[in-house]
Copies of this chain bind each other. A is one copy, B any other.
């Protein structure tokens, strides 16, 4: 019998206890051992069948040698970072759903785990229930990963889907998302791209073997997208999506970006709607593989956490080889040096300047506004060229290619 402690009994944590209890027998069969919840740590009282396991003092877990696996579903860095480090120091494997923790401290925690022959696992930190960490780590292990791109945040995808499919303005779509519980009262972590940024950090770290920190990622949110932009993009055959992307460059540096981008309607990602997530991984052997599913929510995320717990049980003496090296300045190239195409929205009065400086570009107009898509170039050079051309822009988006 394996004893587990759950730290944080919010949405995800209560989902984990629900799955562990409800699917207890089939999980025991797959883990080849019975998994029992010994403690649930939360400041708020725990009700229901686990009321007698409720504790409020972390030291109880830390000092109980019977607990071999700790699930961290508190979120945030404080006190999660301290608690997780202390769990590892106390010889316990840790499973977390906390993307902020992994994006900020992943390499350090993986190193501690490796030194002590423990597991530190975080399948639930990206893509909710979608299997993505393990597939990259194990199933694509024979590949050199060349690129990762994805719709990594369900809240913003819900808002953009409302805008694109139903013509709902941003503010109304956000209000509706909040009403449905998809967005927080303070929605900035989602709509300013920070959540997606943390996730692309984790994916890029895993795929390329070197830690990427959130502050290294060029990050743009969706606050400024207008219905007019959406319609102009549609006229050219594109859908606007918030895309997290990381590309391995030939000199072994990488790009890492989060921004609203035009996705061709023929691309699978353009059909990923509402709160769903999808992640495309490109490998040198496999080509493109896409992983799709619910990127958030109580039970989908719990499903990923429980899979990690089962894996910990099966590898209690044989650590899984998951680790990466630390990052460094300059490993992620400046966004100005990223190769991209730009979708530029301007006023029809600049039509002459557009045909002068961007003569071969596809253009579209709604009478009042004029939009065009540039050729491929470096982001910095393209924006400079637009500036030099004297075109006043209303909006500029990257175009996925």
Contact = CB atoms under 8 A, between A and B. Distances in A.
Interface string A18-52: 01100100110011100000000000000000000
Given A134-B134, A135-B131, A271-B271, A141 B289 contact: no
A285 B299 contact: yes
A85 interface: no
A: contact size bracket: 35 or more
A393 B286 CA distance: 43
Contacts of A143: 19, 23, 303
A289 B286 contact: no
Interface string A282-311: 011111111111100101101111110111
A130 B135 CA distance: 9
A293 B287 contact: yes
A-B interface, 4 closest residue pairs, ranked by CB to CB distance from nearest = A142-B306, A131-B139, A289-B293, A285-B303
Given A138-B307, A321-B314, A289 B288 contact: no
Given A123-B139, A138-B311, A142-B27, A129 B271 contact: no
A144 interface: yes
A159 to B, nearest CB: 20
A63 B388 CA distance: 74
A140 B268 contact: no
A249 interface: no
Interface of A: 15, 19-20, 23, 26-27, 30-32, 123, 129-131, 134-135, 138-144, 268, 271, 283-294, 297, 299-300, 302-307, 309-311, 314-315, 317-318, 320-321
Given A32-B321, A285-B302, A302-B285, A144 B23 contact: yes
26 contacts: A19-B142, A19-B285, A23-B144, A27-B141, A31-B141, A129-B286, A134-B138, A134-B139, A138-B307, A138-B311, A141-B307, A141-B311, A142-B302, A142-B307, A142-B309, A283-B303, A285-B306, A287-B293, A287-B294, A288-B294, A289-B294, A290-B290, A291-B291, A292-B292, A317-B318, A318-B318
Contacts of A140: 131, 303, 307
Nearest to A15: B285
A349 to B, nearest CB: 39
A285 B300 contact: yes
Contacts of A321: 30-32, 314
Contacts of A309: 142
Nearest to A18: B285
Contacts of A284: 23, 299
A165 to B, nearest CB: 11
Contacts of A311: 138, 141
A309 B321 CA distance: 15
Nearest to A287: B294
B135 A310 contact: no
Contacts of A317: 318
Nearest to A270: B271
